[in-house]
């Protein structure tokens, strides 16, 4: 038996679609057949040369699949069995560094990844851009039966990313039910999920800022919970900033979450926050250039700025719990994804870069 995989060949180069032997499952691993695997903004950064990774390799870290082989006795430790639908989590914290020992393994300083294995050594297929995947059992999270795995795949990485940022805010004392106004910058996958999640957490008003002329993204955001959309291209930065500074009787907004990845967004995010406002920043995930900020705003407004770069297994479970109790969102989420076969990887990458949709998924 063979399986197709899309092999990353380097910056701005076409992926190569190759066939690999489906080998026996190594001890400690689960073998899965592809249901859906997302193209992440991180993957696009690799392809654009804004993050480094060595080719040739199978990238991708949003694999959702059905388990087809494993060691049954070992799998019992993790509550897993053949036939289960699972999300494969990429992160392997060391468990020994200061961050891990203090309960913050998402920021492990010795972090390893599950998709870093060589495509020249069996079982070859560790990355997400493949019809078959091998991931350690310890990194598989079972998807509840009430959640369609394709729905789970849509925000398999963006969901936990946004959730982890919110969890860090909670640890810092933020009570989301007391927030009057929150702003989401960007309506890509992380931003779109953040809109629905902030609304579910009890935030009274959730606004989103976007740019361009993608009214489909804007309408989708309104359907999943946004109270209003501000468009920088149509309205201008100054007009949007002044409108948001007028919130809370002229104090500004309570919380802003940066999900656009645009460096200039940070300037506006600081400007629209009220005194003691909270700024969550999970979106600046590439070397996209520098900007000039006014650091005195951090002091004078006593801003609370929280960076958030990774997520933990517990955030994946929180994400699945969220989907389990919000079945009313499932069909809306399903409509946000566009599917391509693994063999159509280059078309899929181009489509993901076009920004015409919220999420691009690879399927078998």
pLDDT category of residue 286 using cuts at 50, 70 and 90: confident
Q: What is the reported pLDDT for 175?
A: 95
pTM: 0.96
Q: Report how far residue 244's alpha carbon sits from residue 251's, in angstroms, rounded to the nearest whole number.
A: 9
* pLDDT (average), residues 103-116: 95
Give the C-alpha distances (Å, rounded to integers) separating 333 from 150, 152, 155, 159, 337.
Answer: 9, 9, 9, 12, 7
Residue 15 contacts residue 346 (beta carbons within 8 Å) = yes
In tens, the pLDDT along 3-14 reads 999 999 999 999
pLDDT at 296: 97
Name the band, by pLDDT with cuts 50, 70 and 90, for residue 218. Answer: very high
pLDDT at position 355 over 90: no
pLDDT band per the 50, 70, 90 thresholds, residue 359: very high
User: Residue 288: its pLDDT value, please?
Assistant: 87
pLDDT tens-digit readout, 228-272: 999 999 999 999 999 999 999 999 999 999 999 999 999 999 999
Percent of the chain past pLDDT 70, that is, above it, reads 100
Can you give the length of the chain in residues? 364
Burial class from Cβ neighbours inside 10 Å (0-12, 13-18, 19+) for residue 33 reads: middle
Over residues 137-163, the pLDDT tens digits come to 999 999 999 999 999 999 999 999 999
Asked whether the predicted pLDDT for residue 164 surpasses 90, the reply is: yes
Q: What local confidence, expressed as pLDDT, does residue 35 receive?
A: 98
Is residue 278 predicted with pLDDT exceeding 90? Answer: yes
| Confidence label for 214 from pLDDT (cuts 50, 70 and 90) | confident
pLDDT tens figures, 24-77? 999 999 999 999 999 999 999 999 999 999 999 999 999 999 999 999 999 999
**For residues 288-300, average pLDDT:** 94
Over range 294-314, report the average pLDDT: 96
Residue 287 clears pLDDT 90, i.e. is over it: no
CB 6 within 8 A of CB 130: yes
Q: What is the pLDDT of residue 280?
A: 98
Cross-strand bridge partners of residue 85 = 66
- Mean pLDDT taken over the chain: 96
pLDDT of residue 275: 98
Quote the percentage of the chain above a pLDDT of 90.
96
- pLDDT number for residue 341: 98
Residue pair 307/332 in contact (Cβ under 8 Å)? The answer is no
């Amino acid at each position: 038996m063979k399986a197709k995989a899309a092999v990353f060949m380097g910056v701005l180069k076409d992926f190569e679609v190759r066939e690999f032997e489906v080998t026996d499952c190594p001890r400690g691993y689960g073998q899965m057949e592809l249901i859906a695997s997302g193209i992440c903004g991180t993957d696009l950064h690799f392809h654009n040369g804004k993050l480094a990774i060595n080719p040739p390799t199978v990238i991708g870290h949003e694999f959702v699949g059905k388990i087809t082989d494993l060691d049954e006795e070992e799998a019992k430790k993790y509550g897993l069995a053949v036939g289960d639908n699972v999300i494969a989590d990429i992160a392997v914290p060391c468990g020994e560094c200061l961050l891990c020992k203090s309960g913050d393994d998402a920021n492990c300083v010795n972090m390893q990844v599950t998709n870093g294995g060589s495509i020249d050594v069996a079982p070859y297929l560790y990355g997400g851009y493949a019809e078959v995947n091998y991931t350690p059992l310890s990194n598989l999270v079972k998807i509840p039966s009430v959640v369609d795995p394709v729905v789970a795949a849509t925000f398999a990485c963006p969901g936990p990313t946004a959730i982890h940022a919110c969890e860090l805010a909670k640890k810092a004392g933020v009570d989301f039910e007391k927030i009057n106004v929150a702003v989401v910058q960007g309506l890509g996958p992380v931003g779109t999920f953040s809109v629905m999640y902030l609304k579910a957490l009890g935030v009274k008003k959730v606004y989103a800022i976007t740019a361009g002329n993608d009214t489909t993204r804007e309408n989708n955001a309104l359907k999943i919970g946004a109270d209003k959309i501000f468009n920088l291209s149509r309205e201008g930065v100054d007009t949007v900033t002044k409108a948001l500074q007028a919130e809370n009787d002229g104090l500004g907004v309570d919380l802003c979450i940066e999900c656009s990845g645009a460096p200039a967004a940070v300037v506006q995010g600081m400007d629209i926050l009220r005194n003691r406002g909270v700024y969550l920043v999970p979106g600046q995930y590439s070397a996209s250039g520098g900007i000039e900020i006014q650091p005195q705003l951090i002091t004078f407004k006593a801003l609370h700025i929280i960076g958030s770069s990774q997520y933990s297994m517990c955030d994946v479970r929180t994400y699945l719990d969220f989907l389990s109790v919000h079945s009313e969102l499932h069909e809306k989420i399903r409509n946000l994804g566009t599917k391509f076969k693994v063999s159509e990887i280059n078309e899929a990458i181009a489509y993901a870069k076009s920004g015409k949709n919220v999420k691009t998924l690879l399927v078998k």
